Amino acid sequence: MLSRIDHIGIACHDLDATVEFYRSTYGFEVHHREVNEEQGVREAMLRVNGTDDGGATWLQLLQPLREDSPVGKWLARHGEGVHHIAFGTDDVDAEADAVRGRGVRVLYDAPRRGSMGSRITFLHPQDCHGVLTEIVTAAAPDAARGHSAH
């Protein structure tokens, strides 16, 4: 079952400048930074607030590492802006199977590693009214501690 909006992914050309905008404009601070070679991005996670289920809502700022990465291609077509919305769930595998069973294309056969040790998959935007949708299961608190903000 989907339990919350986990994060909104925002594609940008300059991660540091975009982080500074969200810090100076809204007061959001970077909680975590990482490079995800598999996804081809450099990212920063800015915590917006906590949620009833103990999770949090985040802004995920994404700068492509290369032009041929999915975010790099998206930026070339659309420019900076909202790239995807992610919904949190306790079981990304079960949720992906359930959504697949309803006729929605799931982009990965098996979930992949996402930010802060999470497990993720994406749903095809053509099946989700034009919105690239991510389903994410956050890492257990002990696993997430292995990742730090920079």
Pairing mode, if any, of strands 81-89 and 2-11?
Answer: antiparallel
pLDDT of residue 117: 92
- 142 vs 144: CA distance, rounded Å: 6
- 147 vs 66: CA distance, rounded Å: 23
pLDDT > 70 fraction of the chain, expressed in percent and rounded? 91
Pairing mode, if any, of strands 56-64 and 81-89?
Answer: unpaired
Nearest to 8 by CA among 85, 61, 74, 76: 85
Taking a C-beta distance cutoff of 8 angstroms, is the pair 87, 2 a contact?
A: yes
pLDDT of residue 149: 41
Q: Which helix (H) or strand (E) holds 3?
A: strand 2-11
pLDDT of residue 25: 94
What is the reported pTM?
0.86
CATH class, 2-144 region: alpha beta
What does the domain layout of the chain look like in residue ranges?
2-144
For tokens 């079952």, the residue is 1
Q: What's the token pair of residue 130?
A: 């034009």
Q: Provide mean pLDDT across the span 34-41.
A: 94
Taking a C-beta distance cutoff of 8 angstroms, is the pair 99, 144 a contact?
A: no
Nearest to 8 by CA among 57, 74, 76: 57
As annotated, the active-site residues are 7, 43, 60, 84, 134
In this predicted model, which residue has the larger pLDDT, 54 or 91?
91
Q: What average pLDDT does the chain have?
A: 91
Tell me how far the alpha carbon of residue 124 is from its chain's centroid. Answer: 15
Query: What pLDDT, in 10s, does the model give residues 104-130?
Result: 999 999 999 999 999 999 999 999 999
pLDDT band (50, 70, 90) for residue 53: low
